Structure 1
């Protein structure tokens, strides 16, 4: 299952067994406490940090970004000017993955390409809660207004495009349109994976993006009703300024980088901050990444969504990821010590 879809299940599982949210704690670690730190490609991490640090307005970050733009040796730069901070609460750590899907589409509808990718209608912008997914898809409210960016051939893939929030549409002549998040209808996201578990269709460990897609396709009537369980509906915009070899735009309006970008909760992790990841599971990851994206259901200090890239292979890799671990935020020294909840011993 993709990270965006796993997020609601993650919150449910994180507090299983009677755990509840508690006060957040902050602990300063030593770089020697970071498992695999010495072996990482710090130069690569620095180049990703430089993609977005110019957009960080706080003076602490601006000063460090100016230093980074002088292209210092990467590992000493991080070790000299940052401190690793472990931010925790009662929520269990969880890592998932997300990707940029690629759909087949066309600029005009026909018997194959029948499912529209919509721009945001003006009356939905700033309206609070607008129409639900069901009301949008079963009425004529969007039709005949020129709001279609393209038409795609698979409504299930279109549903998952909305969960990811960005993607690419490959046209019959080989050209590609990149689309990004433009807004939504104001309704909260509700996980169809959680709903399938609630209905007893699958157990938690059985649910994945591919399992959901296959079930909806095998059961088209019940499947459509299942997708209506999520009232949230995402509208798109064309993204022409991003080269084809770059990743999609993240929450900082900059391209994200496969294997080096995470989506995190900005309530705990500053957007643009370096974050040390120690992910367990079948394929462990110990790597310095950068928090350049967010997700509406990515909540908590130990919750991260790792960006895997574009297309089916990235989607399969992202869909398999649901692992425990630890993430440690690298903060400017003064800011790190200011966050301590208890004085140092």
Structure 2
């Protein structure tokens, strides 16, 4: 899970830019609250109206059941471009989605159902419909999506539709509850005084100053062999530990992001490039590990270039097939969850990705759900693709750095 916890913006911050001369198909924006709607109608000086279903012709008015609940009114929005704090959503058509007819769209439904536990504003009605839908195959699912959603192309505020796709995964490490001769790298829970001291001690201070070390004493969750393994967990934000207990037993647990020390994240790979130690093409995680193997005396120097320290909490792992929770607060789904900038795309949104697979020209075009974020995930056309866990997920995540185009699919 990515470590930044920026909240999703409220829908009332979204505004519509009128575009009467545009030849693009009509689009609807994200629903507002009723109060926000009234203000919007006044501001636009247009006749917003509630459209109710026509009543059947009859000489005798139908008698309503005393327990009947009236249908929710349907709001017609004027055509236009939706602007969010860091992105523009431009009305588009289903035919613009590259590879739309080829994706196994039924595979996104479990991830979407998880997001519906905490639906984005504007998704309540569609999530309620999803609970009653019987979608047996991709054709039925695709038809339901096309009937229920509108398509918006995501662009930067300056109109750039090109961006970046990276990848992340959930690491699996072997750890011990107590330090051993080889396992001496701690993973800490948040210190008791973390909230009263911002920013907190830096990584270097926590590893070298007695006062800082005293603040985290007793907060150890587990110990690892390699400082780089600890850094990987801190960058990814969560992981699985094959944990060896003092009594000799072993169990699998998850450690999840709890907080950080308030200092900015700085990439050790970028530092190695700036130092002339690695070329940009070599600054992958395997390349960094190989550099530290050749330069063991400079490992600490490299680690201290990143002042941010992440603190964790331990969680049980009753179902190993379920991913860690993202920033939306729901479990991630391998291959169907992405981290986004919530100032560009709200959590719970369906998105279409157009990229290629790592080290390949094979298309990576699929339907995903925005369920997470990260400190490096900033901007309009920006996504971090959750590959899952295990060796293959680690390899794919480390290689993912692809050109990206994205679309948001939003309820009508």
For Structure 1 versus Structure 2, the TM-score category normalised by the shorter chain is: 0.7 to 0.9
Q: Is 1:136 aligned with 2:136?
A: no
RMSD over aligned CA atoms reads: 2.1
Given the two structures, how large is their TM-score scaled by the length of structure 1? 0.85
Which of 110, 123, 128 is the equivalent residue of 1:66?
Answer: 128
SS at match of 2:180: coil
Q: Is 1:288 aligned with 2:358?
A: no
Shift, 1:242, TM fit: 5.4
Structure 1 stretches of 4+ with a deviation exceeding 6 A read none
Shift, 1:126, TM fit: 5.4
Which of 85, 97, 106 is the equivalent residue of 2:167?
Answer: 97
- Which piece of structure 1 moves more, 301-310 or 41-50? 41-50
Matching residue of 2:291: 215
Matching residue of 1:45: 108
Matching residue of 2:333: 257
Q: Is the 8 A contact 1:96 1:323 kept in 2?
A: yes
Given the two structures, how large is their TM-score scaled by the length of structure 2? 0.72
SS at match of 2:187: strand
- Which stretches in structure 2 are left out of the alignment for 5+ residues? 4-84, 136-140
Shift, 1:241, TM fit: 6.0
Shift, 1:166, TM fit: 0.2
Q: Distance in 1 between matches of 2:397 and 2:206?
A: 29
Shift, 1:198, TM fit: 1.3
Matching residue of 2:410: 331
Matching residue of 1:303: 382
Higher helix share: 1
Shift, 1:92, TM fit: 4.2
Shift, 1:23, TM fit: 7.9
- Which stretches in structure 1 are left out of the alignment for 5+ residues? 5-21, 334-345
Matching residue of 2:224: 152
SS at match of 1:256: coil
Q: Is the 8 A contact 1:248 1:256 kept in 2?
A: yes
Shift, 1:176, TM fit: 1.3
Q: Is the 8 A contact 2:189 2:311 kept in 1?
A: yes
Shift, 1:116, TM fit: 0.8
Q: Is 1:195 aligned with 2:195?
A: no
Q: Is 1:86 aligned with 2:153?
A: yes
Q: Is the 8 A contact 1:156 1:216 kept in 2?
A: no
Q: Distance in 2 between matches of 1:241 and 1:99?
A: 16
Q: Distance in 1 between matches of 2:239 and 2:86?
A: 37
Which of 70, 75, 78 is the equivalent residue of 2:142?
Answer: 75
